[in-house]
Amino acid sequence: MKSNILILEPDRVLSSIYSKYLSENRYKLFSAYKVEDALELLDQHKIDIILMELQISGHNGLEFLYEIRSYPEWDDIKIIINSIYQLDNINSLTLDLLNISKILYKPEAKLITLLNVVNDLSSNKTV
Amino acid sequence: MALQFQQLGVQKSYSDLELKNLFFSLAEDLKLPLIQISRIAEFSKNTNETKLLRQIEAIADNSLHLIDSFILNSSLQNLGNLESLQPVSVNASLQDSAHLLSKYAENNNCNIEIEITGKLEPILANPNALKSAMINLGKVFINYEKERQNNSSNNPKCYVKLASHRTRSGIAAGVFTDSRSINSKILRQAKKIHGKAINPMNQLVSNNGIGIFIADILLKQMSSGLRVAYHHKQTGLAATFSPSHQLELV
């Protein structure tokens, strides 16, 4: 059974494209443009994977991640960061602590790349 | 001539560092539209959705305008301020800018309004730079209003106003909205850190807001640059220009 994916992406054009593409590949999608909406969706639905941008208007994406990881019931959610900025200055300790499954650099992450990562995470392969 | 120029209060050229920062912000801001184009094109390979192709066209056009504004500024810097300034009707310029913004506004479900207060003297300005600055500002404000609308449960009306009015120091022209979120502190901070920090206008828009900095650098060629301003009950960003006395006897 395919996973439920939450897309947290402030840009609506990209959010729409990711959503259409992944749902054509049989995933169930939920979209949020801001952190509050994402938290509400997490409360309401069983989410397996979060695909998110770190740079969100008015919020720090890392704080959102810390918050998610503070709830044991959300421990198993796999997180893919798909960021428009290079994330060289986030150290590996932070990544381990937040249990981030994959970091993608948006300019290089084609739709097919996203799909492959999501497929692998869905089937529990190490990515 | 140099004294007259000083008396007009026209800014000197931007320093190399400021231009470098602006270029950095421009480069970062162009990433998003190019990613959008690339992903839409990738997605639409197997579909016949003409709506997607129209989206690509709009995104590409806006990106080109951004680059053109930056190039315009660079060429004005090379030309030298004095040669590029002429008497310009600020109201006519605002009307042109509003017309050129209308398509962008329509694509974003936003309305553009113009408010022109009476008959204002011509100002000493570069017409292309003035128009370009207003368009860049207008786009940032449209994006800001759109985000505000999307984030609000009240569904506030999305509109921006291009307006001019007389002030004690000259003629002000700029872009205004109903929002109260724009203030001098945010603008001052953003001007300080843009080009060095990602997303210097974080409180307002989720991208770099490069349009504001490009508008500022263009307007500094002919005025004191952008500042927070008020037009009736609305807040916005505007520049104040000195009236041109060249046509007074005409």
The chain-wide mean pLDDT, for chain B, equals 80
Q: Which of B34, B39, B198 sits opposite A17 (nearest CB)?
A: B39
Q: What is the pLDDT of residues B6-19, one digit of tens each?
A: 444 444 455 777 77
Give the 3-state secondary structure of chain B.
Answer: CHHHHHHCCCCCCCCHHHHHHHHHHHHHHHHHHHHHHHHHHHHHCCCCCHHHHHHHHHHHHHHHHHHHHHHHHHHHHHHCHHHHCEEECHHHHHHHHHHHHHHHHHHCCCEEEEEECCCCCCEEECHHHHHHHHHHHHHHHHHHHHHHHHHCCCCCCCEEEEEEEEECCEEEEEEEECCCCCCHHHHHHHHHHECCECCCCCCCCCCCCHHHHHHHHHHCCCCCCCEEEEECCEEEEEEEECECCCCCCC
How many C-beta neighbours within 10 Å does residue B125 have?
A: 30
Query: Do the chains contact at A85 and B198, CB–CB below 8 Å?
Result: yes
* pLDDT (0 to 100) of residue A6: 97
Q: What is the pLDDT of residues B120-177, one digit of tens each?
A: 888 988 888 899 999 999 988 888 888 777 767 666 678 899 999 988 889 999 999 8
* pLDDT (0 to 100) of residue B10: 43
Q: What is the pLDDT of residues A94-127, one digit of tens each?
A: 777 888 999 999 988 999 999 999 999 998 755 5
* pLDDT (0 to 100) of residue B247: 55
* Mean local confidence (pLDDT), B210-237: 87
- Give B36's pLDDT tier (boundaries 50, 70, 90): very high
* pLDDT (0 to 100) of residue B65: 82
How does DSSP classify residue A18?
A: H
Query: Do the chains contact at A13 and B59, CB–CB below 8 Å?
Result: yes
pLDDT exceeding 70 applies to what percent of chain B? 80
Q: How many CB pairs under 8 A join A and B?
A: 50
Q: Which long-range contacts (CB under 8 A, 24 or more apart) does B204-208 make?
A: B204/B144, B205/A57, B205/B140, B205/B143, B205/B144, B205/B147, B206/A10, B206/A11, B206/A55, B206/A56, B206/A57, B206/A58, B206/B147, B207/B29, B207/B32, B207/B143, B208/B25, B208/B28, B208/B29
* Mean local confidence (pLDDT), B178-194: 74
Burial degree of B129 (CB within 10 A; 0-12, 13-18, 19+): buried
Q: Cα–Cα distance between A80 and B189 in angstroms, integer? A: 32
**CB-CB neighbors (< 8 A) of B38 in chain A:** 110
- Give A62's pLDDT tier (boundaries 50, 70, 90): confident
Q: Which of A21, A57, A84 sits opposite B43 (nearest CB)?
A: A21
* Mean local confidence (pLDDT), B33-45: 90
Q: What is the pLDDT of residues A73-102, one digit of tens each?
A: 999 999 999 998 877 666 667 777 888 999
Tokens (6 digits) for B176: 């205004």
**CB-CB neighbors (< 8 A) of A13 in chain B:** 36, 40, 55, 59
Q: Cα–Cα distance between A99 and B136 in angstroms, integer? A: 41
- What chain A residue is nearest to B35 in terms of C-alpha separation? A107
pLDDT of B47 strictly over 90: no
* pLDDT (0 to 100) of residue B8: 41
**CB-CB neighbors (< 8 A) of A21 in chain B:** 43
* pLDDT (0 to 100) of residue B1: 37
* pLDDT (0 to 100) of residue B206: 57
Query: Do the chains contact at A33 and B150, CB–CB below 8 Å?
Result: yes
pLDDT of B217 strictly over 50: yes
* pLDDT (0 to 100) of residue B198: 63
For residue A52, the Cα-to-chain-centroid distance in whole angstroms is: 4
Q: What is the pLDDT of residues B99-124, one digit of tens each?
A: 988 888 888 888 999 998 778 888 98
* pLDDT (0 to 100) of residue B207: 62
Mutate to test the interface with A, among B28, B29, B43, B109 (most CBs of A within 10 A): B43
* pLDDT (0 to 100) of residue B119: 80
Q: Which of A12, A13, A110 sits opposite B42 (nearest CB)?
A: A110
* Mean local confidence (pLDDT), B169-197: 79
**CB-CB neighbors (< 8 A) of B31 in chain A:** 84, 106-107
Query: Do the chains contact at A13 and B147, CB–CB below 8 Å?
Result: no
pLDDT of B86 strictly over 90: no
Residues 18-57 of A with CB under 8 A from B: 18, 20-21, 33-34, 55-57
A110 part of contact set with chain B, CB < 8 Å = yes
In terms of pLDDT, which residue wins out, B246 or B218? Answer: B218
**Through-space distance between the first and last CA atoms of chain A, rounded to whole angstroms:** 19
